[in-house]
Amino acid sequence: MAKIKSVIGFEVDSNEIRAVEISRSSGTYSILACGKIPLQEGVIEEGFIRDADRFNIALTELMQNGGFRATDVVVGVNNENVVMRYATFPKVADDKLRNMVLLQAQEFIPIPVQEMEIDYVVAGDGVNEDEQPVTNVMLVAARRNMIEQYINVLSASKLQVIDVNATVLSLCSGLQSSVVGDEKYAVLNLTEDLVNFIVIKGNEISMVRSIQIPERIEGSVKRLFAGKEEADDIEQIGAVLGQETSSSVSYYAMQNQSSPIEKIFLLTTLNKNAQLVNGITEIFANIPVTVPDYYTANKFGLDQQVINEFAGCIGLAIQALEVK
């Protein structure tokens, strides 16, 4: 009988902790535990744990009440301390690419690289203006002190952090495995701290844009993620997302006239996505904007809305199990 392995996909934002424990046996994935718990205001600020005691109380309650048994954890981060940039490098042998990326990353990252942990995803090969072969990559850089803080706090709770990834990439992986086909599509990912716009076809990423939440809707976004939105909040957020989508698509189109975006997916952990789509399409209706349903071939015995809400955690855990 195959040995069962399990890992916890773990996400944190300023409002809550979300976690999913997934096992793999004979190539089949199963959800063993799934849950979330709210965080009091001020526990997480600007992506950092500001009150470790209250964080640990919430974490312990979630792990115990949710029936989590695994100790291996992969942490997903997606806040202002994570920088993603599309970059192009001269084509070199695969075993030399990492060194080149690390040596030249500062040209693309607006924060001193000595403060960051740098990783990358190969986004495809091409040629430059001089017809020289190049490799396109998506750089992912996260503040080292933030990562170390999460590792230390979770370790104190007897959890072992085996990896730290960008949550939005696990969501994109989930789309590729269960939603999209051969079309070129864009991901519009909204969190309480950040908006990501990523253009993808197959395994090739051709644009990455990260946008800080504009000050004029910061309060609306915080209320929406806290489930305390006011009458005009969704309309205001939708309008801003529509404007940002329009500018992102226009910029992409100028650079890639022969390969247009065919579809846009709105990704959040909210249950108000349909209303946000309405607000976006009132401003920008040139390309269909939809909300995807993840893992429809295997809902793991959970309601589809729950699967969608925890899709980031599920993707993090599955990706970790695939390399274990």
Task: Give residue-wise pLDDT tens across range 26-44.
Answer: 878 999 999 999 999 899 9
Residue 141 · residue 82 · CB < 8 Å: yes
Q: What sign results for the dihedral spanned by CA atoms 219, 222, 227, 232?
A: positive
The mean predicted confidence, pLDDT, of the chain is 91
5: confidence class by pLDDT, cuts 50, 70, 90 = confident
pLDDT of 4: 52
318: confidence class by pLDDT, cuts 50, 70, 90 = very high
Extract the tokens encoding 281: 């399409």
Question: HSE on the CB side for 275, CA within 13 Å?
Answer: 12
Among residues 140, 127, 136, 246, the alpha carbon closest in space to that of 186 is found at 246
pLDDT of 271: 85
**286 three-class SS:** coil
Contacts of 144 (CB under 8 A, 6+ apart): 115, 116, 117
Residue 185 · residue 264 · CB < 8 Å: yes
Residue 119 · residue 140 · CB < 8 Å: yes
Distances (CA, A) of 153 to 46, 59, 77, 160: 17, 10, 15, 10
- DSSP letter assigned to residue 192: S
pLDDT of 237: 96
